[in-house]
């Protein structure tokens, strides 16, 4: 499984514990990805431990970024400050997340589906009659 990075934000000082009621963090995500998030979608958060991204054990929701209305941000409540990030599943790395990708293991960023059956042309053999 390939997880594709969608945004990160540093909350310092690294490793600082925040006592209850903890800290609410906002992680901006890349703009072109905004349409692929469901409203208030819950996704796990990851943090950088110095050598790689590890599951933070907390989930957060998505919300409109108040500073950039066309973008989405990841919101979460955490008890420790780190460099946090949002990832989604994108097995073929074509920037279309698996849940929405009509060919999840074949790169086809354009999502062309000539016969409108929900399967992308990139992973489907089309008959001569269906070819554009
Ligand atoms: Ca994909
Ligand atoms: Ca694909």
Give the phi and the psi of residue 33 in degrees, each rounded to 5.
-95, -5
CB 96 within 8 A of CB 5: no
Residues 100, 125 within the same domain: yes
Residue 79 Cα to ligand 2 middle (Å): 36
Residues 21, 52 within the same domain: yes
Residues 85, 99 within the same domain: no
Domains held by the chain: number = 2
Residue owning tokens 């409109």 = 64
Give the per-residue pLDDT at 87: 86
Residues 82, 99 within the same domain: no
Residues 77, 101 within the same domain: no
**pTM to 2 decimals?**
0.74
Find the domain containing 117 and state its range. 94-132
Give the per-residue pLDDT at 50: 93
pLDDT digits (tens, 9 = 90+) for 103-123: 999 999 999 999 999 999 999
Give the per-residue pLDDT at 123: 92
Q: Average per-residue pLDDT in the chain?
A: 87
Residue 109 Cα to ligand 2 middle (Å): 6
Residues 62, 29 within the same domain: yes
pLDDT of 11 higher than 90? yes
Residue 91 Cα to ligand 1 middle (Å): 6
């Amino acid at each position: 499984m390939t997880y594709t990075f969608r945004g990160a934000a540093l909350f310092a000082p690294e490793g600082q514990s925040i006592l209850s009621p903890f800290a609410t963090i906002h992680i901006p995500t890349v703009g072109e990805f905004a349409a692929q998030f469901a409203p208030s979608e819950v996704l796990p958060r990851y943090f950088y431990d110095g050598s790689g991204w590890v599951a933070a054990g907390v989930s957060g929701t998505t919300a409109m970024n108040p500073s950039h209305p066309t973008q989405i941000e990841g919101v979460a409540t955490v008890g420790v400050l780190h460099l946090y990030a949002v990832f989604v599943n994108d097995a073929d790395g074509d920037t279309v997340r698996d849940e929405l990708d009509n060919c999840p293991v074949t790169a086809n960023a354009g999502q062309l589906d000539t016969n409108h059956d929900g399967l992308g042309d990139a992973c489907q053999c089309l008959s001569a009659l269906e070819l554009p």
